[in-house]
Amino acid sequence: MALDMHLEPEEALILQERGLAQTLFHFLVQCAKQERLLYSAKGVLPKKQLQKLLQEPSLGGEVLRRTGLSFTAKDAYEPLVAVLLESAYKLNILLPDDQGIFIDLSALGRWLQLYYDMQEAELYKHWRQLYLPAPAWLHHCMILIENSAEQAQEAWHSLNDIAAAAVDMQSWDDGLSKEQVMSALLEQWIRPLQLFRWLELAVDKQGGLWFHVLVDMSFSDRNNNCFSLQKNMDEKPGHSATFYVQPDFELILPPDVPPSIEWEIASFAELLTSDAVRMYRINRESLKACESGYSAASVSTFLMEYACFEVPEVIPTTLHQWEQQLGKLYFEEVTLLRCKSAELAELVEKHPSCQPYLQEKSERRTSESKKNISRKYRLSSKKWAIIPKNAAKACCIFY
């Protein structure tokens, strides 16, 4: 950083340390965990479902509203949710229809094969296109900022100089002063880029603003053909060691872990923190992913293939034990046939027309069957080792 400057502390609101692509990643992970994103009667995703998809949907709302941009779902959702949906629509990862939203797994796979900085550059390109056609002064400022970053990406540049250069052009009839251009530039362009972690702002002793670009801005509409989702598709992330496995089942992911590898981890581990370094943890609950195609053996093999060091022996051993315990108890949705006597139950059981439909019987004569018993039982069973799978509306057969 240049001398006599400090990072702006006031409105330096950011989604998270890595940027918009990481926020979109976690959003898509949660989308993939839902069987289907179905609309409510109002034709939008219900609020309860949105809370599962994004922890803080209102984050950055005021910054995004001030841009004045129009998103596909702007009026139905919080601005951040609308931005994420818009981005996923542009990438063809999420596809809306009359009933809801579904994931195109092929498009998702292509997206995950891109390295993280390429994802950020692609999202920046889509964000930039939302502004076009922009007012002449704003479009000129955008190009000046991109040119400055392209010439010296690691350097800090004066935002005041950008505003002054735009005013000096005098190629529009808005009649804006330098101060007006600076104020509008901050509100409509700079603050959103700061929110998405695409640039940093700093203040010098005189109060002047400086910016440092963190994303590759060369992939704009000026050279739209130089970048696409197909570029480097054949260059799959290397199979070298990428993350750390701790004896306490925590996984530590350095910044350079490819998105495709992190996606696999997110499928069977619980997210703890998401900064430049992400942390996940494998536990009994997260291992329920075994029901979706994973097994203890496949998880252990994955860890051993990509871990930076040897996987602690306790990890595969415990995963195997959890998997064995997972199948010992399970909930099943059945129809209750209650008989008033053991004699009647025996008659029903032996009747030829009833036998094909009877599953089992219990000798207890009374019991209560509550709608949410499986959920309550699952919560209480966390205190001991065996966790039931396939929770449903549970009931038992009694007579």
Question: Across residues 162-181, what is the average pLDDT?
Answer: 79
Half-sphere exposure of 337 (CA within 13 A, CB side): 14
Both 314 and 349 in one domain: the answer is no
| Residue 180 and residue 77 share a domain | yes
Answer with the one of 279, 306, 326 that is the final residue of a domain. Answer: 326
- Whether residues 93 and 22 share a domain: the answer is yes
Query: Residue 219, CB half-sphere, CA atoms under 13 Å: how many?
Result: 19
Residue 127: inside a domain: yes
Q: At what angle do helices 20-33 and 116-129 cross, to 10 degrees?
A: 100
The predicted pLDDT at position 198 comes to: 94
Residues 80 and 132 in one domain: yes
- Pair 222, 252 in one domain: no
Residue 185 lies inside a defined structural domain of this protein: yes
* Encoded tokens for 75: 């009026």
Mean pLDDT of the residues in the chain = 80
- Residue with the bigger pLDDT between 275 and 9: it is 275
Beta bridge partners of 200: 212
How many CB atoms sit inside 10 A of residue 110's CB? 16
CB atoms near residue 167 (< 10 Å): 18
Six-digit token string for 322? 């959890």
Cα separation values, 345 from 15, 183, 277, 353, 369, Å = 62, 81, 62, 14, 19
| Boundary-marking domain end, from 261, 296, 326 | 326
d(CA 55, CA 274): 12
Flag whether 234 is in a domain.
Answer: no
89 in a domain, yes or no? yes
- Burial per residue of 351-379, b for 16 or more beta-carbon CB atoms within 10 angstroms, e otherwise: eeeeeeeeeebeeeeeeeeeeebbeebbe
Region of poorest pLDDT, from 113-122, 207-216, 233-242: 233-242
Residue 188 has pLDDT above 70, yes or no: yes
Q: Do 18 and 125 have their domain in common?
A: yes
Please tell me the distance from the alpha carbon of residue 138 to that of residue 58, in angstroms, as a whole number: 27
Give the three-class secondary structure for 158.
strand
Judgement on whether residues 184 and 258 belong to the same structural domain of the protein = no
Residue that is last in its domain, among 303, 326, 349: 326
- Domain count of the fold of the chain: 3
For residue 238, tell me if it sits in a domain.
no
pLDDT confidence of 144, banded at 50, 70, 90?
very high
Domain span at residue 81 reads 1-229
**Nearest CA to 347 among 297, 312, 399?**
399
Q: For 339-381, what is each residue's pLDDT tens digit?
A: 888 888 888 788 787 777 776 665 544 334 344 445 554 555 4
How far is residue 354's CA from residue 13's CA, in Å, rounded to a whole number?
A: 66
Q: Structure pTM?
A: 0.79
Query: Residue 307 forms beta bridges with which residues?
Result: 243
The residue behind tokens 């195609």 is 293
Rounded Cα–Cα distance for residues 158 and 156 (Å): 7
d(CA 237, CA 256): 10
Does some domain include residue 235? no
SS3 157: strand
Ramachandran region of residue 78, left (φ > 0), alpha (ψ -120 to 50) or beta? Answer: beta
At 66-85, the pLDDT tens digits run 998 887 776 789 999 999 99
More confident residue, 286 or 214: 214
Do 298 and 355 sit in the same domain of this protein?
A: no
How crowded is residue 115: how many other Cβ atoms within 10 Å of its Cβ? 15
- Could you tell me if 86 and 201 lie in one domain? yes
User: 158 and 48 in one domain?
Assistant: yes
Integer-rounded Cα Rg, in Å, for the chain is 28
Residue 273 scores a pLDDT above 60: yes
Share of the chain above pLDDT 70, in %: 75
* Confidence at residue 6, expressed as pLDDT on a 0 to 100 scale: 61
Q: Is the peptide bond before 258 cis (omega within 30 degrees of 0)?
A: no
For residue 13, being part of any structural domain is answered with yes
Asked whether residue 73 is assigned to any structural domain, the reply reads yes
Same domain, 70 and 137: yes
Instruction: Quote the CA–CA distance of 245 and 231 in Å, as a whole number.
Output: 32
Q: Which residues contact 235 (CB under 8 A, 6 or more apart)?
A: none
